[in-house]
Amino acid sequence: MVAVADADASLVQRCQSNDAAAFNEIVSRYQGKVYNYVCRMVGAGQDAEDLTQDTFVRAFASIRSFQSRASLTTWLFRIATNICIDHARRASRATLKAASLVLETDDGDTDREIPDSRHDPQAVYLNLELGSELNRALADLPQKLRSVVLLYDMEGLAYDEIALIVECPLGTVKSRLFNARMALRAKLAPYLTGVVPPAKTRREGRDG
């Protein structure tokens, strides 16, 4: 964690010195995480890619004002969160559709499917129905709850980082996380009995 923070701080300093390669490195490191988060916040598709680009364009434009008081991760996710909130407002608070997964087959065609778990005995829970229900349950959460559960359980961020990202007190972060998890549990209850997903640590989740 400390090594990552030091590496990020070095990249930021290089960016502030007009090192284009440093910013490309930042994008390479974070584009996947930011895109995944944005997809879960606004739905997958061209909008999500555009908003992810907006995040990095805004970061590039304001890199000089970044003073490293917070981590680069926190800063980028805060920009992304605000962009997603603005997008939702512009969409007139339309109901967010459940995010759909799109996989490319070997011949380049796209197919709407959850990854096939038959060849992975550790991922037996990743069947089509459960995957769809998970996507729908996440998408049905109010945005304030969804952002916190995504940042904590999916991206592995800490309470204090999330508090800075969503701009609310620590107690509110904990409360929203609890409420989000309980809501997800209620929606996924029929699928939780007898299902034992692999125990993935938060560190694995953060680096994945």
Partner 1 sequence: MNCSRIEPKLSEYLNEALSAREALDVEKHLAECHPCTLALTELRHTVRLVAAAPRFELSPDFMQRLQERIDAAPVPSRLGWVQNLRQLLRPRPLSLFGATAACVVAVVMFVPRLPMVQAPPQELGAAAHVAAAASQNVVLTASDPLEDIAVANLSANPAAYSEPTE
Q: How many residues bind partner 1 (CB under 8 A)?
A: 62
Q: Is 115 in the site for partner 1 (CB under 8 A)?
A: yes
Beta carbons within 8 Å of 128's beta carbon, 6+ residues apart: 113, 114
Piece of 3-11, 29-37, 66-74, 87-95 that binds partner 1 (CB under 8 A): 29-37
How many residues can be counted in the chain? 208
Q: How far apart are CA 63 and CA 15, in angstroms?
A: 7
Rounded to whole angstroms, the Cα distance separating 10 from 76 reads: 16
Show the binding pattern over residues 63-102: x = contacts partner 1 (CB under 8 A), - = does not: xx----------------------------------x-x-
- 48 belongs to the binding site for partner 1 (CB under 8 A): yes
Min dist CB 187 to partner 1, Å, is: 9
The answer to whether 11 and 26 are in contact (CB under 8 A) is yes
Cα–Cα dist 146/1, whole Å: 25
Residue ranges of alpha helices (H) inside the chain are 2-16, 20-42, 46-61, 72-90, 128-140, 143-149, 159-166, 170-192, 202-207
Judged by the rule CB under 8 A, the positions of this chain that interact with partner 1 are: 16-18, 23-24, 27-28, 31-32, 35-36, 39, 44, 48-49, 52-53, 56-57, 60-61, 63-64, 99, 101, 104, 114-115, 123, 125-126, 130-131, 134-135, 138, 149-150, 152-154, 156, 159, 174, 177-178, 181-182, 184-185, 188-189, 192, 195-200, 202, 205, 208
